[in-house]
Amino acid sequence: MLYFRQYRFDLASLSLYCEEEQIALRPKVAQLLSYFLTHPNQTVTREALLSALWQHGEFREAALTQSITELRQALNDSAQQPIFIKTVPQQGYHWICPVESPKKRRAEVLNKVTWAAVLMVFLTVGGVGMKTLFSADHVPFQSINKTRLIIFPLQNETGVDANAWWGYALEASLREQLHDQFQLLPKSQNAEFETEKNANKLTLTLKPMQQRFVLEAHYGNQTQQLVVEQLDEQFASVAGQLITQLNMHKQPQQSADTPINRGMSDYYRGVQALMEQGPKLAKAYFDAALLQMPNHVPSQLELAQLSWQMGEIEEAERRFAAISLTSAKVATQARFYLYYGEFYKARGQFTKALSQADQALLSAQRSQQVELIAMAYQLQADLYWTLQRWEAYQHAMNAAHTLIGSRSFAFSEARRSFYLANPPAAGPIEKTLLNLQNSRPVLEQAITYYQQTGQTMSLIQALFAYGQNYLVPVTITEPSLLRALALAKQGGYEFLEQQILSYLGFYYIQLHQGQTALQYLMQKRIDKRFLPSYEQQQLLIAMAYMDIALQSGDSEALQQAITAYKALLDSDYLYPVTRANVKLLFAWTWLKAGNLSAAEQLTQLAFADYQQLQLGEVETYAQYTQMYIHLLKNEPEQAILLMPTHSESQLVLLYGAVAAQMNHQEQLKQQLVAKLAELNNSGLLLTQLQQLEQQSATTPSVITGLIDAPYSVYCQSKWTIN
């Protein structure tokens, strides 16, 4: 046992205590604390910590940073004014708090406590108490090494779908009663159980039996059957009996004599309906639950969430404001902040949303529920992305990945992928390719699992994310997206339906099917108060018209694109990254229309915006667009001056080679052609350069006829689409 300030740390069990209360730490965080306490008063490099605790793994650096943050939070420490962990710039960390051994701590106790006080203690607690006071082996709360456990959703074999609600209720009660005893793996990890070699599983099946029911449970090598007289609100008692029969060493929290709370059955019927039948039926059940339990926070939360997702913004605001968290469990508090944060995000109120996400993370960490913690990190990541805080975004996503693996990217990253896969893009592109590769098999497993278990909402989300993964062949992604849309419409999942319609608009623009894209985009019913979604719809409509014009030369579509882009730039609200993208897209539209002056002005404005926003990847798009404009204006020297020193952009190298040819700089041209030849998918561009060499003069008309324009990469028209 080691002591520091009001804390003590058991090296054997890696357990941290503050006075009489045990503080929960993730295993890696506990190992990190152990390392610091056994290396006090010395600077420990990050390399030493990584070597000791994270020998392998892609996200080692991020995992260390996250663990340092969690350890500081657990100790109420501050990086700015540290009491325990001091950051040493360019070196590592220094544990600055004195650490005491049991022997030293006992000596100090004896020196500080007067014999009169010791006598008082002896008289109060007796001889046994005196022995305990000075026992080096005394640990007030014995640490429990938690076993990993997955509770699978109940299989309803009664032949009556309406009975499924009871399974949701039983599972929730089992989780509540087993939370302290086991490390409960998230429900969404059930689909990946085969990879969880060190986890136990609890499977449940409900079968009919002569006007009764039999609950069959499998846990480890045990199989137990429990007769259930009726599927009522006594699920907590049933859960307790089941835990006892399976020797899971937890006493039931509710006895058969406990008064029945009738409203809970409606609540769990609402949970079932939300997952399987749709939000309208779920809303009716949650309303019924509140009639019997007016202060039931989980029901209030679900209704607040459903209200805004069904377009009832004022109702949602009223419901969120009316919720009191005074007596709510900490996990429920975390869900409140997550729901409220999502609501603010949908309204475009990103600062308020981030505040809720921060509160959600604190509550989730107190609850020790891994899935809630990961969800809070993912909400933070979404908001950091929106606010262009790239370093914080990567930190949050890596933290989620550390907690739950590739599943953390399966939905968040896939939803964002169409901004990354194609220009105009924003943010760290190189990371997303890897994330989407990892998420593909995860989503394939999830789709199969949700189909088997009948969880419609989760199935829609999985199909939607899978359809957005641009590493999956188009022949697979298109049916996945269309099936997700059909299920969302059928079940009345309006919020999901609107999201899928947005992506289908971009998806068909990507395939040069602008008219089809418009068909889906025009189906969207967006309240303008949901600013991000409304803005996205208007941008995609403009892009669809632009795509039609670029592909067919349709003058009417070209004019509609110009009108739409002007309206966007004139709007009172436009997200900064979107405004920069609109300027570049508008410039490409003017290029197609032949207005070089307007195109050049907008490109320069877009380039300045991208520099200010630190979006290096899309900055390149504006850069080579300016180069192309200089080529058309017969200004090859200006195009060469714009070239970045080091670039692996095909169009930068292509336009640079054309400018070098126009300026008779043969050596520069050959260098650029050689670099272009080293890149993937450059064969067609090299052919264009060869055709250009055969022309008697390099005029603007020849360039536009032979050389790809900047917008050719817009939908990967000359690039590989699987």
480, 497, 522: which is the final residue of a domain? Answer: 480
Among 480, 506, 536, residue at a domain's last position: 480
Kindly tell me if the per-residue pLDDT of 187 is higher than 80. Answer: no
pLDDT of 419 above 80: no
Q: Are residues 83 and 192 in the same domain?
A: no
Pair (283, 240) in one structural domain: no
Q: pTM above 0.85?
A: no
Instruction: Please indicate, yes or no, whether residues 195 and 313 belong to a single structural domain of this protein.
Output: no
pLDDT band at 132 (very low <50, low <70, confident <90, very high): very low
Number of domains in the chain: 3
What CATH number should be reported for the domain holding residue 37? 1.10.10.10
Q: How far is Cα 182 from Cα 368, in angstroms, rounded to an integer?
A: 11
Q: Report the range out of 49-53, 365-369, 685-689, 707-711 with the highest average pLDDT.
A: 685-689
Is the pLDDT reported for residue 255 higher than 90?
A: no
Query: Residue 529: pLDDT above 80?
Result: yes
Stretch 452-480: mean pLDDT, rounded?
Answer: 86
Domain that holds residue 341: 279-480
468-512 pLDDT, tens per residue? 877 788 889 899 999 999 999 999 999 899 989 998 998 898 888
CATH number at residue 208: 3.40.50.10070
Higher pLDDT, 374 or 690: 690
Which of 40, 71, 103 terminates a domain? The answer is 103
| Residue 254 covered by a domain | no
* Domain annotation covers residue 720: no
Most confident of 161-170, 334-343, 412-421, 547-556: 334-343
Residues of the chain above pLDDT 90, percent: 33
Higher-scoring residue by pLDDT: 414, 535: 535
At 278-308, the pLDDT tens digits run 999 999 999 999 999 999 999 999 999 999 9
* Mean pLDDT to the nearest integer, 100-120: 41
Whether 567 contacts 538, CB under 8 Å:
yes
Mark whether 231 and 306 lie in a shared domain: no
The rounded mean pLDDT for the chain is: 80
C-alpha 589/C-alpha 602 separation (Å) is 11
Contact (Cβ atoms closer than 8 angstroms) between residue 332 and residue 301: yes
Residue 29 above 90 pLDDT? no
Query: Is pLDDT at 578 greater than 50 in this prediction?
Result: yes
Task: Convert the pLDDT of each residue in 192-223 to its tens digit.
Answer: 444 455 568 899 998 876 667 789 999 988 88
Tokens of 210: 């002569």
Query: Could you tell me if 308 and 390 lie in one domain?
Result: yes
For residue 131, the model assigns a pLDDT of 28
DSSP one-letter string for 344-360: HHHHT-HHHHHHHHHHH
What is the rounded average pLDDT of the residues 440-447? 82
Identify whether 418 is part of a domain. Answer: yes
More confident residue, 633 or 22: 633
Largest interatomic CA distance in the chain: 110
Render 236-299 in DSSP notation, one character per residue: HHHHHHHHHHTT-----SS-TTSPP-THHHHHHHHHHHHHHT-HHHHHHHHHHHHHH-TT-HHH
- The pLDDT-based confidence of 395 (bands split at 50, 70, 90) is confident
